Structure 1
Amino acid sequence: MKRVRQPILMVRVLAVLASGASVMSCFSNRQNEGATLYATHCSNCHGSQGEGLKRLIPPLAGADYLVKNRSGLACLVRKGLNGPLVVNGVEFNQVMPAADTHLTDSQITNILNFVQTSWGNKGEIFTIREVSEQLRGCGASDGR
C-alpha cells in the first residue's frame, strides 16, 4: 500500500512544482517587460544606460527630474515634449516624440518602473492605477 501512495505523492509534488514554475515564468516575463520596452522605445535617445546624449538629450540615470516631476512622467511619455526642461541643472530643449499610439498604460508603467529602479535610481515604483490616473489627467489614458 505504501508503494502506491509514494508515486501519488510524487506526482502531486511534481504537479505543484510544474505549476509554480509556469506561474513564475509569467511573472518573470512581465517583470522584464520594462527593460525590453525601454531598449526598444527609449534607449536610442536616452542611451542603453540612461546616460542621455551630452547637452542634446537628458540623462535618466541619476536624473533629479524624475523625482521632482513624478506626477507628470506618464503624460511626458505618452504625449512627448516640445520645449525646454532642466535635468540636474542643465537645460535641454529637444523634441521628445510622443508614444500616443504604440504604448499602453501598462507598458508605460513598466517603462517608468524600469527607469525608476535602474542605473542607481531609487525612485518609488508606479502602480498601473497611478499611471492611468496621470494619463486621464492629460486626456491620454487608453485603459489598457
Structure 2
Amino acid sequence: MKLKVISGIGLLLGLLIFSCQNDDGITFKRYYSTGSVVYQTKCQNCHGKDGQGLSSLMPPLTDTPFLKANKTSLACFVKYGIKGKLLIINHKPFEGDMPVTDLAPIEIAEVLTYFTNSFGNNMGIVTAQQVSDDLAKCK
C-alpha cells in the first residue's frame, strides 16, 4: 500500500514539474530533439558525431566564438552551402565545399538549435522566423 502511495506521489510530482515548463522550454526541447535527428542524417557524416569535424577537411562545430560571431550567417551556410570560402575556426583555416541542402527553414532552425547547444555550445533556441529572416539576407 505504501509503495502505491509513494509511486502515485512520484508520478504526480513528475507531471506537475513537466506541466510547469513554459512554452519556450517546451519549444526548445522539441527543436533540439528534432534537430538532433536532422544533424544525424544531414551533417554528422562530415562534422562527426561529436561535432569535431574531420582534420583539416571539415570544420568542427565546437567553436562557440565562431558560431556567435556568425550567428546570422549560419542559416545561409546550412541552406546554400559554402564554396571555397576560407573560414578560421579555433585559429585553424578551413577552405572547401559544403553542399547545398534542401532543408526547410523549420528544419534549419531545428538543426541550428541542436548544434549551437551541443558540443560545448550554449546559444539558445533558433526559431524558424529567425532562419527565414537570415536567409533573406544571404549574400
TM range (shorter): 0.7 to 0.9
CA distance in structure 1 between the aligned counterparts of 2:59 and 2:88, rounded to whole angstroms: 8
- C-alpha distance in 1, partners of 2:98/2:120? 23
TM-score normalised by the chain length of structure 2: 0.74
What is the root-mean-square deviation in Å for CA atoms of aligned residues?
A: 2.2
Identity %: 36
> How many angstroms apart in 2 are the aligned matches of 1:128 and 1:62?
23
Greater length-normalized contact order (CA 8 Å, ≥ 6 residues apart):
2
* Distance in 2 separating the partners of 1:129 and 1:103: 14
More strand by share: 2
Quick one: distance in 2 between partners of 1:63 and 1:49?
A: 14
Segments of 4+ moved more than 3 angstroms: 26-31
Q: How does 1:40-79 map to 2 (within 5 A)?
A: 40-79=41-80
**2:108 counterpart letter in structure 1:** I
- In the comparison of the two structures, how many residue pairs are matched? 114
TM-score with structure 1 setting the length: 0.71
Query: Would you say 1:88 and 2:95 are equivalent positions?
Result: no
Give CA-to-partner distance per residue, 1:17-62, whole Å, 9 cap, x none: 9xx8xxxxx9776541100000000000000110001111100023
Structure 2 counterparts to residues 98-109 of structure 1, below 5 A: 98-99=100-101, 102-109=102-109
Give the 3 Å change call, closer, same or farther, for CA 29–116 of structure 1 in structure 2. closer
The gaps in structure 2 that reach 5 residues or longer are 1-14, 20-25
- Gapped regions of structure 1 (runs ≥ 5): 1-16, 21-25, 140-144
